[in-house]
Structure 1
Amino acid sequence: MASRSNIDTLPYDIVSKILSYTSPQDACGFSMVSSTLHSVADSNTLWQSFLPSDYDDIISRTVIPLILQSSSYKHLFYSLCQHPLLLDRGLMSFKLDKSSGKKSYILSARKLSISWSSDPLYWSWRPTPESRFEEAAELRSVSWLEINGKIRTRILTPNTTYAVYLITNVSHRRYGLDSAPAEVSVEVSNKVLNGKAYLYQNIFIEDINNEIRVPSKRDDGWMEIELGEFLCGEADEEVKVSVREVGYQLKGGLIVEGIEVRPKILV
């Protein structure tokens, strides 16, 4: 008779408690070790522990109500990973990180403070088929470009390093976006992380300073520019994000979808 592993001899609730201190990714791996671990790793009790403590409140704020099918918290977890929720009248998007279960949010352009955005001479608001939100902001022409956003750390995952990204695209009539880098900053509790970033990278720009960030392609077809990072602790604090390019050079053609705050992948 094959000998049982040590963990197979432990009570079910103890094994469940042990696995709750791992990650969703680890739990899926453990489920293949033994029948005992498979049973625990697939249980509602375990997968409910991987969900955010405020998941009920988050779901209640969705534009389209989400129904927990078959009372499966594992199904709900992966649904929140693969199908982001629109919250608060469609002004925010929420999802979970598949490997860690940590929370991330995207603030829509309408949720941001964009200078002159209410004046149609400078900005236009229009539906964008590829956007997760009803509309995006397209820059017509300004010399003073300023975008600000804010989010409270209480809605994020504690003890997690977050990175902040401006999600953009450019239209065919873009101009002036690569003439000078924008000043970017992330501020938490009077601690400010400053940097510089180009809002658009022309293929003819050479020898860019490594300290100046440039847009990179996302899987959803948009571009993203890293603005900075911060450590989300236990206290409730306000995170302030800023993008400023206030030179006298006219610029246009920038399309802003929003600002994403997501767990930073540590390598």
Structure 2
Amino acid sequence: MEEQKDCSEIRSEQMEESTGKSRFTSLPLECVTEIISRTSPPDASRMSVVSTDLRFAADSDAVWEGFLPKDFQSIIAGAAGSSRAEVQSKKELYLRLSDEPILIEGGLKSFSIEKRSGKKCYMIAARALTIEWGDTPMYWKWISLPQSRFKEVAELISVCWFEIRGRINTCLLCLKTNYAAYLVFNSTTETYGFEYHPVEVSIGIIGGRISTQSVYLNPSKTQTRRFPVVPRRIGRFNRGLTQLMGLQASVPAGGNCQHPKKREDGWLEIELGEFFNEGGDEELEMSVLEVKAGNWKCGLIIQGIEIRPKDRA
């Protein structure tokens, strides 16, 4: 709070002393740079437009390198070719990483930083997830979409057993930070089978405490009435029977289950849960399951699972 107050006082002082230098800008450049580096990225950005005297310090590499993750150089070194564009300054690099995720680990993950804090964000590509029946063309198909950051996404053709799991090592995440995981996906005109039954999502350390909840994957907060379960034969055939036998009137969704939200990039996301990273070298696992209802499901397109910081409630 004191740092934020200091920034406000500095701005006020600069505005009031338009005809002369303030005591702050009269300090040696090294001192001004050190002070700004102890604030935050939003503060530094605001201070860079207060005056020309402050801009040089506020935009300096010494300030913005401190806002980047300590291991940013090794992360960038492993980026895919097209993701390693040249930048002129650490501030430009910071802003680019916050706006344009880079592909790492052979294109199976993306890396970015939260613009407000500089903390690490990752998305695990669908190809790096464990998708039950994912390599069986009858049930899942791998396609390319221009709006995806990854080379391939997984399109659900038809399954009864819907199971997706992803893992990430906690050593990749920022310490003492609360994270949330999100399934990033889209629906199509063929999406079916998620209207009535919620899916079970979870997050937790393997072998440790797991947080589980139920959510809906259908974008609308309405659902169709429950339909009879038909024998598990050929997916599309059964789906057609289910549609013919089921009652299609819409009714309000019950309970407090979450529904997907639209992202700025046009995809949908649903939160899988939260995790506070205490440190260590452990495997964090996230899962999405619907294996109890016995109905056929189809039409979702899975881009991946994103892990990013989230303020604690």
For the criterion TM > 0.5, the same-fold answer is yes
Gaps of 5+ in 1: none
1:38 paired residue number: 55
1:233 and 1:3 mapped to 2: Cα distance?
48
Q: CA deviation at 1:89?
A: 1.4
Which of 217, 237, 248 is equivalent to 1:199? 217
Q: CA deviation at 1:33?
A: 4.0
2:254 and 2:110 mapped to 1: Cα distance?
33
2:53 and 2:172 mapped to 1: Cα distance?
35
1:92 paired residue number: 109
Q: Secondary structure at the match of 2:201?
A: strand
2:226 paired residue number: none
Q: CA deviation at 1:17?
A: 2.5
Q: Secondary structure at the match of 1:173?
A: coil
Q: Which structure's CA Rg is the greater one? A: 2
Letter matched to residue 208 of structure 1: G
Deviations 1:203-235 (A, max 9, x none): 53314322x111111111110001111112333
TM-score normalized with structure 1 length = 0.91
Identity of aligned residues (%): 42
Q: State which drifts further: 104-113 or 42-51.
A: 42-51
1:104 paired residue number: 121
TM-score normalized with structure 2 length = 0.79
Q: CA deviation at 1:9?
A: 4.5
How many equivalent pairs are there? 265
1:235 paired residue number: 280
1:127 and 1:6 mapped to 2: Cα distance?
58
1:145 and 1:163 mapped to 2: Cα distance?
22
Which of 119, 139, 143 is equivalent to 1:122? 139
Seen in structure 2, the aligned counterparts of structure 1 residues 162 and 180 have a Cα distance that, compared at 3 Å, is same
2:87 paired residue number: 69
Q: Secondary structure at the match of 2:45?
A: helix
Q: CA deviation at 1:187?
A: 0.2
1:127 and 1:108 mapped to 2: Cα distance?
12
Q: CA deviation at 1:106?
A: 0.7
Deviations 1:62-108 (A, max 9, x none): 112524433x1111111111221011111111111122111111100
1:69 and 1:207 mapped to 2: Cα distance?
49
Q: Secondary structure at the match of 1:252?
A: coil
1:134 paired residue number: 151
1:78 paired residue number: 95
RMSD: 2.0
1:39 and 1:202 mapped to 2: Cα distance?
50
Q: Secondary structure at the match of 2:188?
A: strand
Q: State which drifts further: 147-156 or 107-116.
A: 147-156
Seen in structure 2, the aligned counterparts of structure 1 residues 235 and 139 have a Cα distance that, compared at 3 Å, is same
Which of 255, 259, 282 is equivalent to 1:214? 259
Letter matched to residue 305 of structure 2: I
Kept in 2, the 8 Å contact 1:177–1:254? The answer is: no
Structure with higher helix content = 2
2:308 paired residue number: 262
Q: State which drifts further: 16-25 or 31-40.
A: 31-40
The answer on 1:173 being equivalent to 2:207 is: no
Gaps of 5+ in 2: 1-16, 224-251
1:136 and 1:44 mapped to 2: Cα distance?
37
1:132 and 1:124 mapped to 2: Cα distance?
18
